[in-house]
Structure 1
Amino acid sequence: MTTPTLFEWIGGAAVLRALTEDFYTRVKADTLLAPVFAKMGEDHPAHVAAFIGEVFGGPKVYSEQHGGHPEMIRHHLKRHLTEAQRRRWINLLLDAYEASDAPDDPEFASALVAYLEWGSRLAVMNSQPGANVNEQAPMPQWGWGETGGPYQP
């Protein structure tokens, strides 16, 4: 048996798209995050789903159509994101994940949380004035980490 990618395990693009749409509905209703995303276009959830999908081993849609990791980095420059916003962002995304059709097994959740922690901390660092940013950083590739794959009873 081959180990599926995180993208395959979550259920692919459709599940990620539904998850990000629910998440950004929650963001729009949140007093701390709504101002940060006030100018968000209607295609933003789809772009984020494509980005996460690529990071999780799916098709290279974000790189081919939206500029890859360098473009994602540029979206965060000079945004002055705070730790409180970062934590709320993670909490709302995890709430959307729990409400989604995505698998809720501990191995997948662990990989998801690890990526969200890493990515959100990077976004906050890159958003600060004078940040030393590698705008040509390659697209991250996230996997199962120490577990080696999903639990198989």
Structure 2
Amino acid sequence: MDQKSTIPTLFEWAGGMPVFERLTDLFYQKVLKDPILEPVFKHMSPEHQQHVAHFIAEVLGGPEWYSTAEGSHFKMVQKHLARHLTEQHRQRWVSLLLETADEINLPDDPEFRSAFVAYIEWGTRIAVINSHSDELQMNPEEPMPKWGWGVPGGPFLG
């Protein structure tokens, strides 16, 4: 077996779907108490946090639950249209998510966190950009993003 096939996905390294569902459950509890984010999210559906967990998990190499049963990359991006998100919203969202990641002991090795934060930064910046438009200039068949380890190539194993 070559080394590449033994490298876990970011999803696997994090601990699987229960970890992502716990992350988003606790995170959105904070969001609904936050003066900056509560007005943006107060009308979210009861399933919202689970959809976000499944979306992030799929992007990081988890099962294709979001794209096969809950939506698509196009539909996720579409949800941000005309929301007029600000940089302050984005920064607070990222800050609360990373705070929650620390609280639930999401892996904190430099390689995992580098990849995780890179995706969160990329995704939230795309959300802000699209939130200032009323129509989406994107192929509806655009595949889900797939995020990997990046430059480090895998976890640090000491």
Q: Which TM-score applies when normalising by structure 2?
A: 0.93
In the alignment, which residue of structure 2 is the partner of 1:145? Answer: 150
RMSD: 1.2
Q: CA deviation at 1:129?
A: 2.9
Percent of paired sites with the same residue: 52
Matches within 5 A, 1:74-153: 74-129=78-133, 133-136=137-140, 137-153=142-158
Q: How many residues align?
A: 153
Equivalent of residue 8 in structure 1, options 8, 12, 16 = 12
SS in 2 for 1:147: coil
Distance of 2:135 and 2:150 partners within structure 1? 28
Distance of 1:63 and 1:135 partners within structure 2? 15
Q: CA deviation at 1:74?
A: 1.1
Q: Which runs of 5+ in 2 are unaligned?
A: none
Q: CA deviation at 1:131?
A: 6.2
Equivalent of residue 71 in structure 1, options 69, 75, 83 = 75
Distance of 2:136 and 2:146 partners within structure 1? 22
Asked if the contact 1:73/1:135 (under 8 Å) is kept, the reply is no
Q: CA deviation at 1:67?
A: 1.5
Matches within 5 A, 1:55-70: 55-70=59-74
Q: Which runs of 5+ in 1 are unaligned?
A: none
SS in 1 for 2:151: helix
